[in-house]
Amino acid sequence: MSNYTLGRDFAQQLDKEDQLAHYRNQFHIPKDKNGDDLIYLCGNSLGLQPKVTKDYINQELEDWANLGVEGHTEGKNPWLPYHEFLTESMAKVVGAKPIEVVVMNTLTANLHFMMVSFYKPTKKRYKILIEADAFPSDKYAVESQLRHHGFDDKEGLVLWKAREGEELANYEDLEAILEAQGDEIALIMIGGVNYYTGQFFDFKRIAALGHKNGCMVGFDCAHGAGNVNLDLHNSGADFAVWCTYKYMNAGPGSLSGCFVHERHAHNKDLNRFTGWWSHNKETRFNMRGEFDQLPGAEGWQLSNPPILSMAAIKASADIFAEVGMEKLTQKSKKLTGYFEFLLNELNNSDIKIITPSNPNERGCQLSIQVKNADKALHHKLTESGVISDWREPDVIRCAPVPLYNSFEDVYNMVERLKACL
């Protein structure tokens, strides 16, 4: 939609027409000291709490209090198979088959577990390619894998850089890197939606390019899960990981999701770290037999699941299952497009949106670069009641999340930014 107009009335009209507007009431919106809703545009860092989360967690606390160990089998939601309650809804969120998805561990831990299996360096093919401005944890993780295997972490790391004077990575440059060094690169590991620019990468194109050059391909979808249509199965990627505390609204430090493509589901020869939760469910408690690998993504589990964290994920995942990613992404494109329109209408030469303008190459985050600004501007914006985040040296990241943000939120944010400037 490009026929946006200025004025608060238009924002309010869009909210009246919004079929998902009522979901806002299902979330706790932080308030200012006067009791008014803050403009919360920070779902790309920590999603808001669904009001039902407390009930979901309390159910497990009650079963623990009343049943003790019997809660594993006798609870309302038995703990033994609890992770399975999340599989189908999470698979739909990321565009995968249930056999390809499991919720376990935390994000960077899962990234390491995936690299145990899919980073298989040889003397000739040992390099890892990432985007130059990857999230720091991704960079630290792949550097440590290089060192772990006895390689130099600077020489073994290949960076896909944006061109001079540009912010976004260019696919022709990726093709050129692979043409020059493809036979030395063992793994391509890209942040699916770049945390800084908000660029949503073309998974299918990158996976095809990597596989053509003999590389394994994985994605960190921390900023993608619950935000964009990832379509992981059809992308052909070997693996992906994501967290659940951003767009998935599962609480600070909550568990991670893991995708392993179906073609690897029954490959027991893949190197991996194992634990008793990756063992055959039928014989897991026999305790004496030889290890018997579970097929699919579940076969990468190590430990029995942390139920209280999973209960919070279930609370949010059930909302996602009800709404569906198609409706969410439809609203997201309209909401973010409206945000972009208002920012452009400021006609301020000091402001530049570095996120792609093509709605199919971004999610709901817009990264606003402000010339000659420092963190003082962000502090002023926060004091005005806008919760966003600052990324050095000069970028304010804002994510109008379609589940709980309104068009009027976006209108108010731009008005307050204008006042701060």
CB of 177 within 8 A of CB of 186? no
Same domain? For 245 and 387 the reply is: no
Evaluate if residue 3 carries a pLDDT over 90: no
Name the nearest CA neighbour of 402 among 364, 358, 351.
364
24-37 residue pLDDT tens: 999 999 999 999 99
- pLDDT beyond 90 at 392: no
Domain count across the chain: 2
Residue that is last in its domain, among 288, 322, 356: 322
Confidence (pTM):
0.96
Kindly state whether residue 270 falls inside one of the protein's structural domains: yes
**pLDDT for 63:** 98
Flag whether 151 is in a domain: yes
**For the purposes of burial, counting CB atoms within 10 Å of the CB of 224, is it exposed (0-12), middle (13-18) or buried (19 or more)?**
buried
Cis peptide before 393 (omega within 30 of 0): yes
**Phi, psi angle pair for 292, to nearest 5°:** -130, 105
In a domain? residue 108: yes
- Residue 164: pLDDT band (50, 70, 90) is very high
Task: Tell me the Cα Rg of the chain.
Answer: 22
Same domain for 225 and 110: yes
Residue 243 located in a structural domain: yes
- Per-residue pLDDT at 50: 98
305 shares its domain with 343: no
Same-domain pairing of 108 and 153: yes
255 and 171 in one domain? yes
pLDDT confidence of residue 305: 93
Percent of the chain with pLDDT over 70: 100
Same structural domain for residues 262 and 345? Answer: no
Q: Within this chain, do residues 162 and 249 fall inside the same structural domain, yes or no?
A: yes
The residue-averaged pLDDT of 9-35 equals 97
Decide if 102 is inside a domain: yes
Q: Retrieve residue 36's tokens.
A: 């008014």
What's the pLDDT score for residue 288? 83
The average pLDDT across 170-185 equals: 97
Q: Is residue 57 part of a domain?
A: no
Taking the C-alpha atoms of residue 161 and residue 49, their distance in angstroms, rounded to an integer, is: 36
Cα–Cα distance between 394 and 367 in angstroms, integer?
10
pLDDT digits (tens, 9 = 90+) for 255-312: 999 999 999 999 999 999 999 999 999 888 888 889 999 999 999 999 999 999 999 9
Residue 219 CB: number of other CB atoms within 10 A?
Answer: 26
Output the six-digit token pair for 57: 């967690």
Q: Which domain holds residue 292?
A: 81-322
Joined tokens for residue 166: 């540009």
Both 316 and 328 in one domain: the answer is no
Q: Are residues 355 and 298 in the same domain?
A: no
Contact 365, 397 (CB under 8 A): yes
Q: Is the pLDDT of residue 2 over 70?
A: no
End-to-end alpha-carbon separation of the chain, Å?
28
pLDDT category at 372 given cuts 50, 70, 90 is confident
CATH number for 333: 3.90.1150.10
With respect to residue 118, please indicate whether it lies within any of the assigned structural domains: yes
Whether 312 and 335 share a structural domain: no
Three-state secondary structure call for residue 326: helix
Report, as an integer, the average pLDDT of 199-211.
98
Query: Where does a domain end: 289, 305, 322?
Result: 322
* Backbone CA torsion sign across 383, 385, 386, 388: positive
Instruction: Give the end of a domain, one of 298, 322, 346.
Output: 322
Same domain, residue pair 222 and 161? yes
Q: In angstroms, what CA-CA distances link 48 with 18, 28, 380?
A: 20, 6, 22
pLDDT at residue 327 is higher than 80: yes
Task: State yes or no: pLDDT of 141 exceeds 70.
Answer: yes
> Residue 109 belongs to a domain with what CATH number?
3.40.640.10
What letter does residue 190 receive in the DSSP assignment?
E
Q: Judge whether 64 lies within some domain.
A: no
Give alpha helix (H) positions in 182-227: 203-212
The answer to whether residues 353 and 217 belong to one domain is no
The Cα–Cα gap between 381 and 39 comes to 10
